[in-house]
Amino acid sequence: MYPADLKYTKEHEWIKMEGDRGRVGITHHAQHALGDVVFVELPKVGRRLKQMETFGAVESVKAVSDLYCPASGEVVEANTTLEGKPELVNKDCYGAGWMIVVKVADPKELNTLMDAKAYEAYLAAEGGH
Amino acid sequence: MSGQTVGTRGLVFNEPLIFEQGSPGRVGYSLPASDVPEKKAERLIPKKLLRDDIPGFPEVSEVDVVRHFTRMSQWNYGIDLGFYPLGSCTMKYNPRLNEDMARLPGFARAHPYQPEAVSQGALQLLWELEQYLAEICGMDRVSLQPSAGAHGELTGIMLIRAYHTSKGNPRKKILIPDSAHGTNPASSAVCGYQVIPVKSGSRGVVEPQAVAEVMDDEVAGIMLTNPNTLGIFEDHIVEIAKIVHGKGGQVYCDGANLNAFVGIARPGDMGIDVIQLNVHKTFSTPHGGGGPGAGPVAMKRHLAPFSPVPTVEKKGNQFALNYGLPKSIGKVRSFYGSFGVLLRAYTYIRTLGPTGLRRAAEVAVINANYILTQLKGAYHLPYDRYCKHECVFDDALQIPDNVKTLDIAKRLMDYGFHPPTIYFPLIVHGALMIEPTETESKETLDQFIAAMQAIAKEAKENGDLVRNAPHNPRVSRMDETRAARQPNLRWKPKPSGS
Amino acid sequence: MRYIPNTDADCRRMLDAIGVKSVENLFADIPAAVRLKRPLRIPPALSEADLVKHLRALAARNADADRYSSFLGAGCYNHFSPAIIGHLISRGEFLTAYTPYQPEISQGTLQAMYEYQTLICQLTGMEVSNASMYEGASATAEGILMAHRVTGRDEVVVLRSVHPEYRQVTRTYAQQINLTFHEVGFTPAGTADLKAIKAALTDRAACLVVQNPNFFGVVEDLAELGEAAHAVGALLVVAVPEPVSLGLLKPPGECGADIVTGEGQALGVPMSFGGPYLGFFATQEKFIRQMPGRLVGATEDREGRTGYVLTLATREQHIRREKATSNICTSEALIALIATIYMETLGKNGLREVALQNLRKAAYAKERLAKVRGCGLRFSGPTFNEFVVQVKRKPGDVLKGLLRKQIIGGLDLGQFYPELKDSLLVCVTEQNSRQEIDALAKTMGGGR
The Cα C375–Cα A100 span in angstroms is: 69
List of chain B residues whose C-beta atoms are within 8 Å of the C-beta of residue C284 = none
Residue B198 DSSP SS3:
strand
Total domains in chain A come to: 1
> What average pLDDT does the segment C192-196 reach?
98
Q: Name the closest residue on chain C to residue B332, using Cα atoms.
A: C169
When CB atoms are compared, the residue of C122, C176, C434 closest to B36 is C434
Quote the distance between the C-alpha of residue B109 and its chain's center.
Answer: 26
**Terminal-to-terminal C-alpha distance of chain C:** 55
Buried/exposed B427-458: b ≥16 CB within 10 Å, e otherwise: bbebbbbbbbbbbbebebbbbbbbbbeebbeb
Give residue C406's region: left, alpha or beta (phi > 0; psi -120 to 50): left
Whether A129 maps to a domain, the answer reads no
Domain of B223, CATH number, reads 3.40.640.10
The Cα A42–Cα C71 span in angstroms is: 53
Distance from CA of C320 to the nearest CA of A (A): 7
For residues C18 and B369, the answer to whether their CB atoms sit within 8 Å is yes
Q: How many other C-beta atoms are found inside a 10 Å radius of the C-beta of residue B199?
A: 13
Among C3, A75, A20, C19, CA closest to B356: C3
Mean residue pLDDT of chain A comes to 94
Whether A2 maps to a domain, the answer reads no
Whether B328 maps to a domain, the answer reads yes
Q: Name the closest residue on chain A to residue C315, using Cα atoms.
A: A64
The Cα B477–Cα C103 span in angstroms is: 8
The confidence score (pLDDT) of residue C447 equals 59
Q: Assign 3-class secondary structure to C146-179.
A: HHHHHHCCCEEEEECCCCHHHHHHHHHHHHHCCC
Q: Which amino acid, one-letter code, is at B243?
A: I
Pairing of strands B141-143, A100-104: unpaired
Contact B485 A59 (CB under 8 A): no
Whether B145 maps to a domain, the answer reads yes
Residue B159 DSSP SS3:
helix
Residue B254 DSSP SS3:
strand
List of chain A residues whose C-beta atoms are within 8 Å of the C-beta of residue B483 = 61
Assess whether B345 and B366 both reside in one domain. Answer: no
Whether A20 maps to a domain, the answer reads yes
Q: Name the closest residue on chain B to residue C116, using Cα atoms.
A: B490
List of chain C residues whose C-beta atoms are within 8 Å of the C-beta of residue B275 = none
Domain of C271, CATH number, reads 3.40.640.10
List of chain B residues whose C-beta atoms are within 8 Å of the C-beta of residue C341 = 65, 69
Q: Is B12 on the interface with C (CB under 8 A)?
A: no
Pairing of strands B250-255, B219-225: parallel
Assess whether C372 and C285 both reside in one domain. Answer: no
Quote the distance between the C-alpha of residue B46 and its chain's center.
Answer: 46
List of chain B residues whose C-beta atoms are within 8 Å of the C-beta of residue C91 = 69-70, 73
The Cα C126–Cα C119 span in angstroms is: 10
For residues C69 and C406, the answer to whether their CB atoms sit within 8 Å is yes
Total domains in chain B come to: 3
List of chain A residues whose C-beta atoms are within 8 Å of the C-beta of residue C320 = 64
List of chain B residues whose C-beta atoms are within 8 Å of the C-beta of residue C117 = 489-490
Among C309, C327, C310, CA closest to C318: C327
Assess whether C179 and C326 both reside in one domain. Answer: yes
Distance from CA of B29 to the nearest CA of C (A): 5
Domain stops at, among C342, C373, C388:
C342
Residues A15-55: pLDDT tens digits?
A: 999 999 999 999 999 999 999 999 999 999 999 999 999 99
Assess whether C75 and C210 both reside in one domain. Answer: no
When CB atoms are compared, the residue of B189, B192, B339 closest to C274 is B339
Whether A84 maps to a domain, the answer reads yes
DSSP per-residue codes, A86-122: TTHHHH-TTTTT--EEEEES-GGGGGGSB-HHHHHHH
How many helices (H) and strands (E) are present in chain C, helices listed first?
A: 14, 15
Whether B403 maps to a domain, the answer reads yes
Contact C23 B362 (CB under 8 A): yes
Assess whether C358 and C298 both reside in one domain. Answer: no
List of chain A residues whose C-beta atoms are within 8 Å of the C-beta of residue B481 = 36, 38, 60-61
Assess whether C300 and C398 both reside in one domain. Answer: no
Whether A21 maps to a domain, the answer reads yes
Question: Which residue stretches of chain B have pLDDT < 70?
Answer: 1-4, 497-498
Give residue B362's region: left, alpha or beta (phi > 0; psi -120 to 50): alpha
For residues B98 and B284, the answer to whether their CB atoms sit within 8 Å is yes
Assess whether B268 and B242 both reside in one domain. Answer: yes
> What average pLDDT does the segment A91-101 reach?
97
Contacting residues for C386 by C-beta, under 8 A, at least 6 apart:
C73, C74, C213, C216, C217, C242, C362, C425, C426, C427, C428
Counting every residue written for chain C, the total comes to 448
Assess whether C136 and C163 both reside in one domain. Answer: yes
**Terminal-to-terminal C-alpha distance of chain B:** 55
User: Which chains, if any, share at least 3 CB pairs under 8 A with chain B?
Assistant: A, C
**A-C contacts at Cβ under 8 angstroms:** 16
C69, C84, C105, best to mutate vs chain B, most B CBs in 10 Å: C105
Assess whether C286 and C411 both reside in one domain. Answer: no
Assess whether C306 and C257 both reside in one domain. Answer: yes
Contacting residues for B209 by C-beta, under 8 A, at least 6 apart:
none
Q: Name the closest residue on chain B to residue A35, using Cα atoms.
A: B481
Distance from CA of C299 to the nearest CA of A (A): 13
How many helices (H) and strands (E) are present in chain A, helices listed first?
A: 4, 9
Q: Is B164 on the interface with C (CB under 8 A)?
A: no
The confidence score (pLDDT) of residue B1 equals 42
Contact C313 A61 (CB under 8 A): yes
Total domains in chain C come to: 2
Domain stops at, among C342, C357, C388:
C342
Counting every residue written for chain B, the total comes to 498
Residues B1-57: pLDDT tens digits?
A: 445 677 887 889 999 999 999 999 999 999 999 999 999 999 999 999 999 999 999
Distance from CA of C128 to the nearest CA of A (A): 18
Distance from CA of B373 to the nearest CA of C (A): 6
The confidence score (pLDDT) of residue B2 equals 46
The Cα A33–Cα B34 span in angstroms is: 64
Assess whether B176 and B245 both reside in one domain. Answer: yes
Distance from CA of B425 to the nearest CA of A (A): 14
DSSP per-residue codes, B123-151: HHHHHHHHHHHHHHHT-SEEE---SSHHH
Domain of C393, CATH number, reads 3.90.1150.10
Contact B150 C249 (CB under 8 A): no
Is the pLDDT reported for residue C333 higher than 80? yes
Range of the domain at A59: 7-123
**Terminal-to-terminal C-alpha distance of chain A:** 10
Assess whether C402 and C314 both reside in one domain. Answer: no
When CB atoms are compared, the residue of A39, A41, A64 closest to C319 is A64
Distance from CA of B483 to the nearest CA of A (A): 9
Contact C289 A39 (CB under 8 A): yes
Residues 64-103 of A with CB under 8 A from B: 86-87
Whether B10 maps to a domain, the answer reads no
Whether C32 maps to a domain, the answer reads no
Domain stops at, among C342, C362, C380:
C342
Assess whether C275 and C258 both reside in one domain. Answer: yes
Contacting residues for B248 by C-beta, under 8 A, at least 6 apart:
B167, B217
Range of the domain at C331: 84-342
Whether A128 maps to a domain, the answer reads no
Assess whether B273 and B201 both reside in one domain. Answer: yes
For residues B101 and C121, the answer to whether their CB atoms sit within 8 Å is no
Contact A64 C320 (CB under 8 A): yes
Domain of A97, CATH number, reads 2.40.50.100
DSSP per-residue codes, B274-325: EEEE-TTTTT----TTT------EEE-GGGGGGPPSPEEEEETTEEEEE---
For residues A22 and A67, the answer to whether their CB atoms sit within 8 Å is no
Whether C360 maps to a domain, the answer reads yes
Q: pLDDT above 70 covers what percent of chain C?
A: 100
Q: Name the closest residue on chain A to residue C311, using Cα atoms.
A: A61
Q: Based on the number of CB atoms within 10 Å of its own CB, is A4 exposed (0-12), middle (13-18) or buried (19 or more)?
A: exposed
Element at B255 (helix H, strand E): strand B250-255
Whether C201 maps to a domain, the answer reads yes
Whether B138 maps to a domain, the answer reads yes
Q: How far is CA C23 from CA B358, B368, B388, B392, C319, in A?
A: 12, 12, 11, 20, 36
The Cα B136–Cα B81 span in angstroms is: 31
Residue B384 DSSP SS3:
coil
Contact B62 C84 (CB under 8 A): yes
The Cα C111–Cα B420 span in angstroms is: 23
Contact B480 A61 (CB under 8 A): yes
Whether C47 maps to a domain, the answer reads no
Assess whether B479 and B392 both reside in one domain. Answer: yes
**B-C contacts at Cβ under 8 angstroms:** 687
For residues A55 and A47, the answer to whether their CB atoms sit within 8 Å is yes
Contacting residues for A33 by C-beta, under 8 A, at least 6 apart:
A12, A128
Pairing of strands B432-434, B421-422: antiparallel
Q: How far is CA B351 from CA B92, B134, B280, B407, in A?
A: 15, 18, 16, 40
Range of the domain at B416: 359-483
The Cα C300–Cα C302 span in angstroms is: 7
Distance from CA of A111 to the nearest CA of C (A): 32
Residue C414 DSSP SS3:
helix
Contact A59 B480 (CB under 8 A): no
Quote the distance between the C-alpha of residue A88 and its chain's center.
Answer: 13
Contact A63 C314 (CB under 8 A): yes
> What average pLDDT does the segment C8-19 reach?
98
Q: Name the closest residue on chain C to residue B341, using Cα atoms.
A: C276
Sheet holding C235-240, edge to edge: C128-129, C279-283, C259-263, C235-240, C205-211, C155-159, C180-184
Q: Name the closest residue on chain B to residue A39, using Cα atoms.
A: B485
The Cα A97–Cα A100 span in angstroms is: 10
Q: Which amino acid, one-letter code, is at B157?
A: I
Q: In angstroms, what is the C-alpha Rg of chain B? A: 26
B142: which strand partners?
B298
Domain stops at, among B39, B73, B107:
B73
Mean residue pLDDT of chain C comes to 97
Q: Name the closest residue on chain A to residue C318, using Cα atoms.
A: A62
The confidence score (pLDDT) of residue C446 equals 78
User: Which chains, if any, share at least 3 CB pairs under 8 A with chain C?
Assistant: A, B
Contact B484 A87 (CB under 8 A): no
Question: Where are any strands of DSSP class E within B348-493?
Answer: 391-393, 421-422, 432-434
User: Which chains, if any, share at least 3 CB pairs under 8 A with chain A?
Assistant: B, C
Distance from CA of B90 to the nearest CA of C (A): 10
Is the pLDDT reported for residue C104 higher than 80? yes
Distance from CA of A77 to the nearest CA of C (A): 22
Q: How many other C-beta atoms are found inside a 10 Å radius of the C-beta of residue B20?
A: 11
Assess whether C381 and C308 both reside in one domain. Answer: no
Give me the long-range contacts of C218-221 (CB less than 8 A, separation at least 24): C218/C161, C218/C189, C218/C190, C218/C191, C218/C379, C218/C381, C218/C382, C218/C383, C219/B45, C219/B49, C219/C245, C219/C249, C219/C381, C219/C382, C219/C383, C219/C384, C220/C191, C220/C192, C221/B48, C221/B49, C221/C191, C221/C192
Assess whether B285 and B334 both reside in one domain. Answer: yes
